[in-house]
């Protein structure tokens, strides 16, 4: 059984079809890259997976359970975590507190008190090397540090599936490489499936993903092992700005 399964999912905004009849499967512990030009439906797809939007058509199944109409706050404890395209930390709270909030809303949230959440935060802080910033207000971090904190916060949820929406955009290539190997290591150790949106950073996709899904105008046009996907003529065409033929 796949960890996550989408069947014929369609999400419209008025007359605009943002996600068009998309079906896909993500396995436990799998690394998947989502690729597609601006406006191709990547963020909308994530929002359908984590419950921000309900699709007009189709179903979303997580560990065999139909979650199509479950709100986000009920999906997070099941193990669906995400990072945001634009990090939204609680600016006046400390890095440690921000990460502890992740733990509280995650899979262990029910059994955690505040101290337990802070302990998990401390473990993750050490792992992502934010120790020097632990007690700073999150608002005082640099953009790269904020991305790192965002990733730490989502890992503190102990998710089974982590959706990463351009978590590395704007980072220096060296930082990206470091981040990629770090995320890969943690995901392997904890058997977390990662779906990462990294369209502007092909080198990160290649380093991260076992499989690549390509969206174009809301439709899935490619779903294949990374190397094969990136060599697919449809992908080249999409990135050159031509419509894919078929
Ligand atoms: N809340 C919304 N209301 C109306 N239209 C929306 C909304 N969110 C997205 N759209 C539209 O849906 C389409 C898909 O947008 P989406 O943000 O999912 O694309 P994306 O692939 O994430 O793009 P980007 O690479 O720019 O982040 C776009 O045409 C966008 O304008
Ligand atoms: Mg987006």
Query: Can you give the chain as a three-state secondary structure string?
Result: CCCEEEEEEEEEECCEEEEEEEEEEECCCCEEEEECCCCCCHHHHHHHHHCCCCCCEEEEEECCEECCCCCHHHHHHHCEEEECCCCCCCCCCEHHHHHHHHHHCCCCHHHCCHHHHHHHHHHHHHHHCCHHHCCCEHHHCCHHHHHHHHHHHHHHCCCCEEEEECCCCCCCHHHHHHHHHHHHHHHHHHCCEEEEECCCCHHHHHHHCCEEEEEECCEEEEEEEHHHHHHCHHHHHHHHCCCCCC
What tens digit of pLDDT does each residue of 83-122 get? 765 667 788 899 999 999 989 988 988 888 999 999 999 9
d(CA 15, CA 205) in angstroms, rounded, equals: 32
Regarding whether 118 and 98 lie in a shared domain, the answer is: yes
Are the CB atoms for 125 and 145 separated by under 8 Å?
no
Tell me, what's the pLDDT at 186? 84
Please work out whether the CB of residue 13 comes within 6 Å of at least one atom of ligand 1: yes
Nearest CA, atom 28, ligand 1: 39
The pLDDT of residue 128 is above 60: yes
79 lines ligand 1 (CB under 6 A): no
Q: What is the pTM of this model?
A: 0.88
Query: What pLDDT sits at residue 36?
Result: 87
**Which range (126-135, 175-184, 219-228) has the least confidence?**
175-184
Predicted confidence band of residue 143 (pLDDT cuts 50, 70, 90): confident
Q: Whose CA is nearest to atom 26 of ligand 1?
A: 38
Verify whether ligand 1 is closer than 6 Å to residue 40 (CB atom): yes
Domain, as residue range, for 154 = 85-158
Share of the chain above pLDDT 90, in %: 55
Pocket test for ligand 1, best of 22, 33, 41, 167 (most atoms within 8 A of CB): 41
Residue 33, beta-bridge partner list = 196, 212
Residues 241 and 175 both lie in one domain: yes
* Phi, psi of 160, deg, nearest 5: -95, -25
Tell me, what's the pLDDT at 203? 67
Q: From the CB of 200, is ligand 1 less than 6 Å away?
A: no
178 versus 31: the higher-pLDDT residue is 31
Question: Measured from the CB, is residue 47 less than 6 Å from ligand 1?
Answer: no
**pLDDT on residue 19:** 98
Q: Name the average pLDDT for the chain.
A: 88
The pLDDT assigned to 197 comes to 76
Ligand 1 contact, 50 CB (< 6 A): no
- Tell me, yes or no, whether 218 lies in a domain: yes
Structure confidence at residue 202 as a pLDDT band (50, 70, 90): low
Give 240: exposed, middle or buried? Use CB within 10 Å, 0-12, 13-18, 19+. Answer: exposed
Same domain, 71 and 25: yes
Judgement on whether residues 168 and 134 belong to the same structural domain of the protein:
no
Structural domains of the chain, count: 2
How remote is the CA of residue 42 from the centroid of ligand 2, in Å?
5
Indicate if ligand 1 lies below 6 Å from the C-beta of 43: yes
Q: Are residues 72 and 14 in the same domain?
A: yes
Separation of 223 CA from ligand 2 center, angstroms? 19
Structure token digits, residue 235: 């992908």
CATH (domain of 14): 3.40.50.300
CB atoms within 10 A of CB 108: 16
Measured in angstroms, how far is the CA atom of residue 156 from the centroid of ligand 2? 23
State the pLDDT confidence band at 208, using cuts at 50, 70 and 90.
confident
Partners of residue 10 on adjacent β-strands: 57
104 Cα: distance to centroid of ligand 2 (angstroms) = 26
Ligand 1 and 16: CB distance under 6 A: yes
Q: Is residue 139 part of a domain?
A: yes
Please enumerate, as own/partner, the contacts of 179-187 that have beta carbons within 8 Å and a separation of 24 or more.
179/147, 179/148, 179/151, 180/204, 180/207, 180/208, 181/207, 182/128, 183/151, 183/208, 184/31, 184/208, 186/127, 186/155, 187/29, 187/31, 187/162
CA angle 177, 183, 185 (to 5 degrees): 105
Q: Is residue 101 included in any domain, yes or no?
A: yes
């Amino acid at each position: 059984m796949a960890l996550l399964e989408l069947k014929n999912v369609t999400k419209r905004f008025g007359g605009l079809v943002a996600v068009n009849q998309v079906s896909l499967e993500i396995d436990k512990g799998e690394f998947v890259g989502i690729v597609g030009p601006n406006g191709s439906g990547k963020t909308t797809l994530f929002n359908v997976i984590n419950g921000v939007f309900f699709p007009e058509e189709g179903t979303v199944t997580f560990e065999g359970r139909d979650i199509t109409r479950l709100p986000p706050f009920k999906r997070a404890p099941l193990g669906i975590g995400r990072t945001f395209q634009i990090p939204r930390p609680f600016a006046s709270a400390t890095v440690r507190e921000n990460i502890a909030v992740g733990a509280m809303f995650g899979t262990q949230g029910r059994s955690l008190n505040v101290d337990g959440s802070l302990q998990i935060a401390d473990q993750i802080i050490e792992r992502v090397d934010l120790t020097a910033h632990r007690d700073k207000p999150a608002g005082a971090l640099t953009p790269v540090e904020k991305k790192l904190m965002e990733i730490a916060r989502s890992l503190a949820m102990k998710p089974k599936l982590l959706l990463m929406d351009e978590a590395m955009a704007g980072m220096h290539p060296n930082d990206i490489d470091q981040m990629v190997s770090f995320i890969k290591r943690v995901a392997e150790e904890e058997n977390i499936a990662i779906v990462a949106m990294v369209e502007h950073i092909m080198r990160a996709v290649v380093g991260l993903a076992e499989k690549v899904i390509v969206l174009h105008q809301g439709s899935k046009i490619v779903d294949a092992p990374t190397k094969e996907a990136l060599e697919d003529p449809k992908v080249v065409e999409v990135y050159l700005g031509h419509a894919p033929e078929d």
